[in-house]
Amino acid sequence: MVELLERCVADMQQRMTAMQSISRRFTPSPTTPLNVIIIDEMAYLSYYMADKKLRERADKAIRTILTQGRAPGYAVVGAVQDPRIETCGYRNMFPLRIAGGLNEARQVDMVLGEGAYEAGAYCDLIPFTEPGVAYVLDAERANKPILVRAPRCDDAVIQRVLLQTGQRLVSTGNQVKDEDLSGQLGWTAQAMQQSNTGIE
């Protein structure tokens, strides 16, 4: 995991060098796609991992991407179940924050920012029977969280989408086969609309 993060940093810095004196604004394209780094259970990398040197390398890589990644098109999606500052010391570097069901009111401010609970983000009251319900705060554009509901896509739905749209997926403008789904793919709106899964 740490090596992958460091590879992302190297790729990102290479793209930044290539963009110098050419473009000040990142626009996704087949040759320069938006790279989304998804870190599940981020607390393991930032706090629980026993190897201190690996933990420090991971921390450095994550911070580098969070602070420099926007301009060259590198984004981080980090997920934690324990929102304490000890487990995620750079949570304020995430401008877009999402909080689902939490155990207590003080955890809401830990995730969304100070004053979020008083502003109406009652994450501790979200019932477990309502998957996909969460409060979202875009810290750069608003100071009040909003309540949202996202559709739940279980494994069966994901597999059905892949099977139904596999032949229609495109990668850099070329048709791909089902066995190529593990590669870098660009989902098309047409393929998703024709999948009849109800996902928008």
8 Å CB contact between 146 and 138:
no
pLDDT of residue 168: 55
The confidence score (pLDDT) of residue 194 equals 40
pLDDT in tens, 80-90: 888 877 777 88
* pLDDT at residue 197, as a whole number: 38
Burial 71-90 (b: 16+ CB within 10 A, else e): ebbbebebebeebeeebbeb
Per-residue tokens: 67: 């602070």
The label of the residue with tokens 């921390």 reads 59
pTM for the structure as a whole = 0.71
Domain ranges (residues) in the chain: 1-22+33-94, 95-150, 155-193
Contact 12, 74 (CB under 8 A): yes
The gap from C-alpha 139 to its chain's centroid, in whole angstroms, comes to 16
- Separation of alpha carbons 93 and 200, rounded Å: 29
User: What is the pLDDT of the chain when averaged over all its residues?
Assistant: 80
| pLDDT tens, residue by residue, 26-57 | 888 888 899 999 999 899 998 899 999 999 99
